[in-house]
A and B are shown apart, each in its own frame.
Chain A
Amino acid sequence: MAGELEFEKPVLELRKKISELKEFTKNTDVDLSSEIDKLEARLEKLEAEIYENMKPWDRVQIARHPNRPTTLEYISLLFTDFFECHGDRAFGDDEAIVGGIAKFHGYPVTVIGHQRGKDTKENIRRNFGMPHPEGYRKALRLMKQAEKFRRPIICFIDTKGAYPGKAAEERGQSEAIARNLFEMAGLKVPVICVVIGEGGSGGALALGVGNYIHMLENSTYSVISPEGAAAILWKDSTLAKKAAETMKITAPDLKGLGIIDEIIPEVKGGAHRDVAQQAKYMDKVLKDSMSELLVLDEETLISQRYEKYKRIGEYSFPNEFIGVK
């Protein structure tokens, strides 16, 4: 089966065996139902064992799965009347970020998100979901437009990072990211961010300053990729698995650190196993968040966002002073 992940192989193999047996019994008189029952019970246990004890590296694999649903798939399942808006009105249209206006259960919203490709051709067009400055500037333009028309903003985060390239630097990648952080802080409308795949560093954060930050159960959010971290920390990128554990990049980790608000549960085995069902889980969380935020006034929205980020960080003034005087 395409897209099989190493850690879930025992489950998939057992599942295959069961279906083979079922197929076999169809064509013969042999009764294997008790064997099949036994195997199915074993499968259930095995699934629980494997999917409930996923290691960070397993989640990284799911977050990067080629079939993992993208922003546009969620948009088509969660919203109606989507009208995509292109361009930053300055330099170009970066297809690594998509955005536009839509309705969420009848309520007007602005939706923005990183967009990976589903195949090589689309990935080239969308630069593997790694934006240039014009992508961030398009996003900001749409956020400002949302603010003008008092629409809530929903951001889907899914990128390995902002594109590290020459042209990106020439056009001010840093400024574009920084500007988004700065401006998103002051938006007078609700902003809800959901990490749906990989949340790669500043390139992810540039769509990620919101009133609520949620993560899909198997998504990741980090300052650097596990490979990158391993290369820097231990000069060995093959230690990515170890880095994934150390760096605290999974949804449960970020929840533990108080950075994100909610973990959106995933379909067993990952969102790609049942996108429609996954969208339903997402729908519920978005509805709840919107209901809570839509009743707040502008000032409260901005101060709630301020407090949220002010809280993040760890420091102390120990009784026994250990620094320099």
Chain B
Amino acid sequence: MLKELFTKTKKKKYATIPSESAKQDVPEGIMTKCPNCKKIMYTKELNKNFKVCIQCGYHHQMDSAERIESFLDAGSFRELDREMVSGNPLGFPEYVDKLEKDRQKTGINEAVVTGLGTVNGFDVSIAIMDATFRMGSMGSVVGEKITRAIEKADELSIPFIIFTASGGARMQEGVLSLMQMAKTSVALKRFSDNGGLIISIMTHPTTGGVSASFASLGDYNLAEPGALIGFAGRRIIEQTIREELPEDFQTSEFLLKHGQLDAVISRTELKDKIAGILEIHQPGGVFQWQEN
């Protein structure tokens, strides 16, 4: 399923997945070519604009480090459980090697980075999934780290924010992966019943078991524009129903129209919008009128 998502892009333009050829037209580094509108721009300029295309608004993929940098207040992030790593519970051939390769490639140990930080001064517990590590797939470590971040939010009575980016469950951990959906949901339920605030921000792509668990359980379910969000893969659906699906199928905008999202928010205004929500949820609303 994962493979499908990321390689099957030549024949049809699905959502906003950049085609491999577009990526390679321009040498990595100084210049970046927008896979959507083909504009070539300075990488520096693009990065300054939160990696949002200056011409067409296309949201380029962000890894967890870039997300922390752009979303949290400078220097506020304290990472939790950085050293937690996966085992190989099913003895899957090459799984250990693949993990090691991705650790080397990305500089992180798993597909989610968790910790504490502040957003315009408001304390939060945060989990940021990273699609550059094993396509953001969820195995035991992803489930456990997210659960711990939720428990931390509960313990400190602060909001929990999650950025999702995942192809779904991690096949190499089999049913243990599936159960992470339940584990994280159970933790969210307890946190929610204690009055905890949950904000989910779905980024490209949020699919499968991740979309069918914590990604969809926010008090506020938000998404970046043009993200692919859905449960089943497009091709599987097309094969099952023997029908071609509409162009915008399973995009953020499609989900908004179908009642699944509170709002689609551009990355350029995401931090301030979220800070606004956090402010409204600050405890101890004093009963005293101010001038509007």
> How far in angstroms is the closest Cβ of chain A from B245?
18
- Using known A-B contacts A79-B292, A107-B289, determine if residue A87 contacts B262 with beta carbons closer than 8 Å: yes
Would you call B195 and A86 a contact (CB within 8 A)?
A: no
A252 within 8 A of B: no
Cross-interface CB contact of A92 among B220, B257, B277, cutoff 8 Å: B257
A78 within 8 A of B: yes
Cross-interface CB contact of A149 among B256, B276, B279, B281, cutoff 8 Å: B281
A93 to B259, CA, bound (A): 5
Would you call B219 and A148 a contact (CB within 8 A)?
A: yes
Among B257, B273, B292, residue most surrounded by chain A Cβ atoms (within 10 Å) = B292
A317 to B220, CA, bound (A): 52
Would you call A89 and B277 a contact (CB within 8 A)?
A: no
Would you call B276 and A89 a contact (CB within 8 A)?
A: no
B285 within 8 A of A: yes
Among A80, A106, A283, A287, residue most surrounded by chain B Cβ atoms (within 10 Å) = A106
| CB closest chain-B residue, reference A105 | B289
Cross-interface CB contact of A87 among B261, B277, B287, B289, cutoff 8 Å: B261
A108 to B289, CA, bound (A): 11
A83 within 8 A of B: yes
> How far in angstroms is the closest Cβ of chain A from B257?
6
Chain B residues closer than 8 Å to A58, beta-carbon distance: none
A134 within 8 A of B: yes
Would you call A91 and B262 a contact (CB within 8 A)?
A: no
| CB closest chain-B residue, reference A85 | B262
A27 to B265, CA, bound (A): 56
Would you call A88 and B280 a contact (CB within 8 A)?
A: no
| CB closest chain-A residue, reference B262 | A85
A303 to B184, CA, bound (A): 37
B2 within 8 A of A: no
- Using known A-B contacts A91-B259, A92-B257, A145-B219, determine if residue A83 contacts B280 with beta carbons closer than 8 Å: yes
B221 within 8 A of A: yes
Would you call A287 and B289 a contact (CB within 8 A)?
A: yes
Residues 229-281 (chain B) with a chain A CB within 8 angstroms:
256-263, 273, 276-277, 279-281
Would you call B291 and A105 a contact (CB within 8 A)?
A: yes
Chain B residues closer than 8 Å to A85, beta-carbon distance: 220, 262-263
Chain B residues closer than 8 Å to A107, beta-carbon distance: 285, 287, 289
A81 within 8 A of B: yes
Would you call B258 and A92 a contact (CB within 8 A)?
A: yes
A294 within 8 A of B: yes
What 0/1 pattern do residues 75 to 103 of B give for CB contact below 8 A with A?
A: 00000000000000000000000000000
A21 to B252, CA, bound (A): 60
Would you call B280 and A103 a contact (CB within 8 A)?
A: yes
| CB closest chain-B residue, reference A138 | B259
Would you call B259 and A134 a contact (CB within 8 A)?
A: yes
A145 to B289, CA, bound (A): 23
Residues 180-213 (chain B) with a chain A CB within 8 angstroms:
192, 195, 197
A90 within 8 A of B: yes
B24 within 8 A of A: no
B288 within 8 A of A: yes
Residues 83-136 (chain A) with a chain B CB within 8 angstroms:
83-93, 101-108, 134
> How far in angstroms is the closest Cβ of chain A from B190?
14
B-binding residues in A (CB < 8 A): 78-81, 83-93, 101-108, 134, 138, 145, 148-150, 283, 287, 291, 294-295
21 A-B residue pairs with Cβ-Cβ distance under 8 Å, sorted by A, are: A80-B292, A81-B279, A83-B277, A84-B263, A86-B261, A87-B262, A89-B259, A89-B260, A93-B257, A103-B280, A104-B292, A106-B286, A106-B290, A107-B287, A108-B280, A108-B285, A138-B259, A148-B192, A148-B219, A150-B285, A294-B287
4 more contacts with CB within 8 A, not counting A83-B277, A106-B289, A108-B281, are A105-B291, A108-B285, A149-B281, A283-B292
Sort A-B residue pairs by CB-CB distance and give the 9 closest, nearest first.
A106-B290, A87-B259, A105-B289, A85-B262, A92-B259, A108-B280, A88-B259, A105-B290, A101-B280
